[in-house]
A and B are shown apart, each in its own frame.
Chain A
């Protein structure tokens, strides 16, 4: 059964019109229809955070949203984070510098979570506990998290993490 729905949305600032099958989740739509394969799918049931994207600036699980639910909204994916000339965002820079990624599967989701954290903290310095809590919705099977936490501490932390 095909249940086609027309949708209009913006993705990384670009206006998109598409017709989607209602059962298709947003992450699949981004990957398959828009070829934005930076958003990953790990578990497809809301646990791992690999599919994290921003919907009107707020983080969301791309696997727990239907593409039709994105109708009328502004989506940001990892492809929209670095500048057009390829210069990395400072969150990406910091993750790279601190070895906050190895295989990179979780990284797009981690970056989206950190972008939202930066917005929400409104310039306030965060404790390591707050940073770890914010990152608790993103599973990483490679780094052991220390590099990710170190990067976030450098950017938003009240002091540098002591365990480097």
Chain B
């Protein structure tokens, strides 16, 4: 189908965009459009006003900063994918972004758009959950900074108020000796993930696990962070670890991929992702 009628706005300054968002009834912001345009074409979204953020230069930044990589909300996925710096500073972001959509959509799709949209099949929210990325939110009332754990509230739902947008996201720098992995299950490469896993493991000098974090997508409405601190001090991840971890967990399901199926896939992916991240951490550390 075709998009319904709306009034289009193309501000060039962030403050003008925020003003429009605060003043106009039933307005939505357009980032890269790779999720919102399908929703408009399918008429599941019907805003009266569309505020295109594509002309606001200050939202397009991609820079390495003290704490990690800072991506403006309108920085494209493709730019992040192609940045060698991102791979060095935040390897999990690089791992995840390779799975996002197709090249044709990564060319226009933005980091902020994907993180704010919070589709359970999307990869970037899962990576943001595993790393607990820091989100800067802007409105006319000012800025506030929230950890991803507070940002994501449920299925397609963030903590954004109607007059707020995501301004930038800080992806924390991987500590020395970190290994990462992002794995997902889908029927065709580059489709939405049915289940995805993001993990980062940091080793001690003696080769035991110092810190680890893991998030799952496609299991509940919002990305789910699992506590795997039990791995601290271990050298390997035992067989069946994923299964133990998921026992008793509430999981969403649908006709195509019921809950039991998702959980089984998740437990396998968890095992694979942890071994992969561990092997990678070892090869970096040479231990």
Residues of A within 8 A of B (CB): 1-3, 5, 21-25, 28, 44-46, 49, 52, 55, 58-61, 63-66, 68-69, 113, 116, 133-134, 136-137
A-B contact pairs, 28 of them (CB 8 A): A1-B7, A3-B8, A23-B2, A23-B4, A23-B5, A23-B6, A23-B40, A25-B37, A28-B2, A44-B2, A44-B41, A46-B37, A55-B107, A55-B108, A59-B103, A60-B104, A60-B107, A61-B37, A61-B105, A64-B105, A65-B33, A66-B3, A66-B37, A69-B52, A133-B190, A134-B103, A137-B104, A137-B190
| B-side interface mostly | loop
A141 nearest CB across to chain B (Å) = 14
Given contact pairs A45-B38, A133-B190, A137-B103, A1 touches B5 in the complex (Cβ within 8 A): yes
CA distance A44 to B1 in the complex (A): 6
Interface centre among A21, A24, A46, A68 (most CB of B within 10 A): A46
CA distance A2 to B5 in the complex (A): 7
In the complex, what residues of A have CB within 8 A of residue B107's CB?
55, 58-60
Question: CB distance B6 to A22 under 8 Å?
Answer: yes
Question: CB distance B7 to A65 under 8 Å?
Answer: no
In the complex, what residues of A have CB within 8 A of residue B8's CB?
3, 5, 22-23, 66, 68
CA distance A69 to B10 in the complex (A): 9
Residues of B within 8 A of A (CB): 1-8, 10, 33-34, 37-38, 40-42, 50, 52, 54, 78, 101-105, 107-108, 188-190
Given pairs A1-B5, A68-B52, A133-B190, 13 additional interface contacts (CB within 8 A): A3-B8, A22-B50, A23-B4, A24-B2, A44-B1, A44-B2, A49-B102, A59-B103, A60-B104, A66-B37, A136-B102, A136-B189, A137-B103
In the complex, what residues of B have CB within 8 A of residue A65's CB?
33, 37, 108
| A-side interface mostly | mixed
Given contact pairs A65-B33, A69-B52, A136-B190, A49 touches B104 in the complex (Cβ within 8 A): yes
CA distance A46 to B32 in the complex (A): 12
Question: CB distance A25 to B3 under 8 Å?
Answer: yes
Interface centre among A5, A23, A134 (most CB of B within 10 A): A23
Query: Closest residue to A109 on the B side, CB-wise?
Result: B104
In the complex, what residues of A have CB within 8 A of residue B103's CB?
59, 113, 116, 134, 137
Query: Closest residue to A45 on the B side, CB-wise?
Result: B38
CA distance A60 to B34 in the complex (A): 10
CA distance A139 to B38 in the complex (A): 17
In the complex, what residues of B have CB within 8 A of residue A60's CB?
104, 107-108
Question: CB distance B52 to A25 under 8 Å?
Answer: no
Contact of A3 among B6, B38, B105, B108 (CB under 8 A): B6
Question: CB distance A45 to B41 under 8 Å?
Answer: yes
Given contact pairs A5-B8, A46-B105, A63 touches B54 in the complex (Cβ within 8 A): no
Given contact pairs A3-B7, A49-B102, A137-B105, A64 touches B2 in the complex (Cβ within 8 A): no
CA distance A134 to B103 in the complex (A): 7
CA distance A68 to B4 in the complex (A): 15
B264 nearest CB across to chain A (Å) = 25
Query: Closest residue to A134 on the B side, CB-wise?
Result: B103
Query: Closest residue to A59 on the B side, CB-wise?
Result: B104
In the complex, what residues of A have CB within 8 A of residue B33's CB?
64-66, 69
In the complex, what residues of A have CB within 8 A of residue B6's CB?
3, 22-23
B60 nearest CB across to chain A (Å) = 14
A26 nearest CB across to chain B (Å) = 10
CA distance A52 to B188 in the complex (A): 19
CA distance A1 to B8 in the complex (A): 12
In the complex, what residues of B have CB within 8 A of residue A46's CB?
34, 37-38, 105
CA distance A158 to B107 in the complex (A): 26
Contact of B54 among A22, A69, A134 (CB under 8 A): A69
